Structure 1
Amino acid sequence: MRDTTDRKNLFLLVQLRWLAVVGQIVTILIVHLQMGIRLPLLPMAAVIFVLIALNIASLIQIRRSASVSNTQLFLELLIDVWALTLQLYLSGGASNPFISLYLLQVALGAVLLEAWSAWALVLVATAGFTWLIGTHQPLPLPHAHEGELFSLHIQGMFICFVLAASLLVPFLTQINRNLRARDAYLAELRQRSMEEAHIVRMGLLASGAAHELGTPLATLSVILNDWRRMPLLMSDPDLSEEVAEMQNQIDRCKAIVSGILLSSGEARGEGTVRTTVKGFLDDLVQDWLSSRSPARFEYDNTVGPQERMIADLALKQVLFNVLDNALEASPGWIGVAALRQGDNLVVAVNDSGPGFDPAILEELGKPYRSTKKRPGSGLGLFLVVNVLRKLGGTVSAKNRAGGGATVTLTLPLAALSPGGSDGDD
């Protein structure tokens, strides 16, 4: 982010230099042609051509390089100070009212540079000013202006003031905007880091709990198998059916525990199932419906069968969380629509429940933001948002006009493909 900000600032410096070049040309022409004060045009034009060449080189650097160092910015400003010193040397030295433009260079250095280089620029500008006091080419004033020296100096100071102020205000405003954008981005990164640290702790707890649950679940499974062979239970069909259902639920718990351990211990894409997006979503919906029972469920999957992907357990759990939340809010009806939009997969989960509270919509994805009055509530959407973000996707939610809510998951298909990347983090 710092590199990006420095590149933007260098580009602003290039723009400012273009304005300075135009300003120098206009000022030289006015003084030389309109006011009749003869200036050494060739040397002054040579300095302007150096600044133009520097700008072209800077633009090439911005396009070719992703980073801009403090040293580079320092050297650019040093060349600007050198060019200003030469122009002042050729046009009256320290008596030239444009001598105060040194302050413009110092102000830019104070904003753009690190402390040591900003002070070094101050020393260079001070040395240039001191040198110009005793060494310069005097201006040959025409006889018509010999009695107007003070008035000409005041006019030059006024033009210099207007020029410096006109350049500083937009330049510093844009620099401050760049710095604020950088600070906001860094704050967002810190927030993401805190959220991801929270997820890591949750993952460690879930993995530990899965290990701890393995033994009692295995014990319960053995006991139930023994019960099923007992004559008393075998003779009672109702009890046998209930014991069989208990065994099924324990097997399901064991499968969930195994899934937690698998997803926490395997790298994505290693040992996972390669399938299609359409097949993954169809199987996921069937698995979810096998253990949940909404009164009415509508499912529309228009994704083409040619889209390949990796069956990611984390993504499956994310969609399960969204569907579970929808079922809790709206047991009577849930609608799921999956489609492709451009290069993205879009999955919309609709319900006919009471909808989201406005405060929840404003802080969507923040942990423990929930209207449910129970410990640990509000983590579902938090995990959904973070997993989608790691895959380069987004999550949005809104209340439907006719009642209920819609949660929309958008994922780049490239992140789901076997050769895809895991987002931008």
Structure 2
Amino acid sequence: TLGLGSTVLLSLLAVATITFLALVPGPLPWFDGGLPLPGLYVAAVWAALSMAAILIAAYAWRVAEETRRMTDALGAAQMALAREQEMSALGALATAAAHELGSPLATILITAKEMLNELDDDDPLRAEAQVMLDQALRCRTILAAIGRRRDHDEHAPFVRAPLSSVLREIAELYARPLVTLEVTSRIADGQEEPTLMPTPEFRHALGNILNNGLEFARSKLQVVVEKDSREVRVVIRDDGPGFAPEVLEWLGEPYLSTRRDNGGLGLGVFIATTLLARTGAALHVENASDGAVVTLRWPSEAWRRSFGENLG
């Protein structure tokens, strides 16, 4: 169970001890006095013990390292299974919520439309009624999307779009009047911008991340698409206050939120992280000097497997 450094140190100590005994050997106890050993025999014993110590240490470390890898793999598999189970439970909960919320949402829509029709154009409450109606319609669209079956994607090769265009389209759904959205591409020489057919899962995951960035940004949200022969990267940077230090290390775990007072459940980033992980993406978050930075990375093989495009 020792690490590599401890194993090497212990082996060197053993070899040093064997070498010291070989350099200053004493005679073996014998019935008529000491029995001196020939120099060749001492050298041979030194070589045998030294090699044995090194080989046994190397073998033991390899076995222990393999055990550690298996333990880490088992832990990762258990964590992935737990996250999938939580996602499955959330899916069932979302279906039930969509069913239960249908009737009260319809009532809210009818009431909002009647209020809007009864208010005059110059009434200051008309704008608020319009916002309420728009948000209720958005809720109905979200609930309808939860229960909608995935469309068959046999025509996917004919409807592929550049990644930057897809990100701009998703971000514009959550646009805010005082926040500027900037989507750019930085493609390595000889490379073309990656394209994909965005799945509902991809749209939801990126929409959640972009919505958070737009919500916390003070004046600008930058989205940069980068690509080389090894991977595709999406860097999302805002100029807001950044992530709270107490949640930065645990971001992506379920029910972790700093906005519970405002109705946040702490599931958005967890769901987005899990959905993106299914496509092979790795998510990294950090605080910069002028805001928060979220980086998504798809290795070339993961991108090809998930979106059917070879980056080579």
TM (normalized to structure 2)?
0.69
**Equivalent residue for 2:212?**
325
Question: Residues 299-328 of structure 1: CA distance to partner in whole angstroms, max 9, x if unpaired?
Answer: 324578874312212222222222232234
**Equivalent residue for 2:182?**
298
**Equivalent residue for 1:195?**
83
- Determine if the alignment matches structure 1 residue 209 to structure 2 residue 97: yes
AA aligned to 1:174 is R
Instruction: Note closer, same or farther for the CA distance 1:183–1:286 as it changes in structure 2 (3 Å cut).
Output: same
Distance across 1 between alignment mates of 2:147 and 2:73? 34
Give the RMSD, CA atoms, in angstroms: 3.6
1:20-419 equivalences under 5 Å are 160-224=48-112, 233=118, 238=123, 243-262=129-148, 265-266=149-150, 269=153, 274-276=159-161, 277-289=163-175, 292-301=176-185, 307-372=194-259, 374=261, 377-400=265-288, 402-412=289-299, 413-418=303-308
Question: For 1:366, what is the secondary structure of its paired residue?
Answer: coil
Return 5+ residue gaps in structure 2 as ranges. Answer: 1-34
Question: For 1:283, what is the secondary structure of its paired residue?
Answer: helix
Q: CA contact under 8 A between 2:195 and 2:309: conserved in structure 1? A: no
Distance across 1 between alignment mates of 2:298 and 2:241? 27
TM (normalized to structure 1)?
0.53
AA aligned to 1:398 is E
Q: CA contact under 8 A between 2:105 and 2:140: conserved in structure 1? A: yes
Deviation at 1:266, TM superposition (A): 2.9
AA aligned to 1:266 is R
Deviation at 1:257, TM superposition (A): 1.0
Instruction: Note closer, same or farther for the CA distance 1:338–1:161 as it changes in structure 2 (3 Å cut).
Output: closer
Distance across 1 between alignment mates of 2:258 and 2:279? 28
Percent identity reads 27
Q: 1 or 2, which has the higher helix percentage? A: 1
Instruction: Note closer, same or farther for the CA distance 1:377–1:245 as it changes in structure 2 (3 Å cut).
Output: closer
* Matched positions, count: 264
Q: CA contact under 8 A between 2:193 and 2:227: conserved in structure 1? A: no
Deviation at 1:249, TM superposition (A): 2.8
Q: CA contact under 8 A between 2:280 and 2:306: conserved in structure 1? A: no
Question: For 1:311, what is the secondary structure of its paired residue?
Answer: coil
Return 5+ residue gaps in structure 1 as ranges. Answer: 1-148, 421-425
Question: Residues 218-254 of structure 1: CA distance to partner in whole angstroms, max 9, x if unpaired?
Answer: 333345556667xxx2766637666555433322211
Q: CA contact under 8 A between 1:388 and 1:411: conserved in structure 2? A: no
Distance across 2 between alignment mates of 1:403 and 1:295? 15
Distance across 2 between alignment mates of 1:390 and 1:299? 24
Distance across 2 between alignment mates of 1:260 and 1:166? 61
Deviation at 1:267, TM superposition (A): 7.6
Deviation at 1:255, TM superposition (A): 0.8
Instruction: Note closer, same or farther for the CA distance 1:286–1:166 as it changes in structure 2 (3 Å cut).
Output: closer
Q: CA contact under 8 A between 2:194 and 2:309: conserved in structure 1? A: no
AA aligned to 2:139 is C
Q: CA contact under 8 A between 1:268 and 1:312: conserved in structure 2? A: no
Distance across 2 between alignment mates of 1:378 and 1:242? 28
Distance across 1 between alignment mates of 2:198 and 2:165? 10
AA aligned to 1:341 is D
Instruction: Note closer, same or farther for the CA distance 1:268–1:205 as it changes in structure 2 (3 Å cut).
Output: farther
**Equivalent residue for 1:3?**
none
**Equivalent residue for 1:138?**
none
Question: For 1:212, what is the secondary structure of its paired residue?
Answer: helix
Question: For 2:236, what is the secondary structure of its paired residue?
Answer: strand
Bigger Rg, which one? 1
Deviation at 1:173, TM superposition (A): 1.3
Distance across 2 between alignment mates of 1:221 and 1:391? 37
Instruction: Note closer, same or farther for the CA distance 1:185–1:166 as it changes in structure 2 (3 Å cut).
Output: same
Instruction: Note closer, same or farther for the CA distance 1:236–1:376 as it changes in structure 2 (3 Å cut).
Output: closer
Q: CA contact under 8 A between 1:369 and 1:378: conserved in structure 2? A: yes
Question: For 1:354, what is the secondary structure of its paired residue?
Answer: coil
Which stretch shows the higher mean deviation, 386-395 or 369-378?
A: 369-378
- By relative contact order (CA 8 Å, sep 6+), the higher-ranking structure is 2
Deviation at 1:199, TM superposition (A): 1.9
